[in-house]
């Protein structure tokens, strides 16, 4: 009996991971990319509340310039049931297949409180004209 208890504890310890999974919806997605804001495709990010879509590391990404910081969201629907990227209207991300909506100001949480959040990336400003996007 003692051996079974030790084995169970060992299995629990070995199955732990230090890498968080966001609602089990975006496991295994990593990105490490630099964005040069002086490129013409990012001209809309020169003003507060401006946003633009771009491809980074094979992912469709929405970049948003808020009043105090930049944010980045993956445009894949969190339920992964749609091949069309989510649409953004300046406040809400919406999955066109299901109509499910996500509020970017609250970290991409679903408006109805059910299911997975939109995937938000970490954005660090590494100079006056560069952003580092990571996960």
Q: Where are the domains of the chain?
A: 2-134
20 pLDDT band, cuts 50/70/90, is: very low
Q: How many CB atoms lie within 10 A of CB 31?
A: 17
Sign of CA dihedral 74, 77, 82, 86: negative
What's the mean per-residue pLDDT of the chain? 86
Q: Which residue has the higher pLDDT, 106 or 25?
A: 106
Sign of CA dihedral 40, 120, 106, 76: positive
User: According to the model, what pLDDT value does residue 132 have?
Assistant: 97
CA 86: distance to chain centroid?
Answer: 12
6 pLDDT band, cuts 50/70/90, is: low
Indicate if the pLDDT at residue 41 is higher than 50.
yes
Architecture of 2-134 per CATH?
3-layer Sandwich (2.102)
| pLDDT one-digit tens code per residue, 66-121 | 988 999 999 999 988 788 999 999 889 999 999 999 999 999 999 999 999 999 99
User: According to the model, what pLDDT value does residue 125 have?
Assistant: 94
């Amino acid at each position: 009996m003692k051996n079974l208890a030790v084995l169970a504890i060992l299995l629990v310890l070995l199955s732990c991971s230090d890498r968080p999974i966001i609602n089990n919806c975006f496991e295994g997605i990593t990105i490490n990319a630099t964005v040069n804001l002086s490129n013409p495709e990012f001209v809309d990010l020169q003003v507060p509340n401006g946003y633009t879509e771009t491809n980074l590391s094979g992912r469709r990404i929405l970049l948003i310039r808020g009043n105090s910081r930049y944010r980045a969201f993956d445009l894949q629907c969190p339920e992964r049931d749609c091949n069309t990227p989510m649409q953004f209207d300046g406040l809400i991300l919406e999955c066109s297949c299901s109509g499910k909506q996500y509020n970017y100001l609250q970290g991409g949480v679903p408006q109805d409180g059910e299911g997975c959040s939109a995937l938000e990336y970490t954005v660090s400003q590494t100079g006056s004209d560069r952003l580092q996007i990571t996960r």
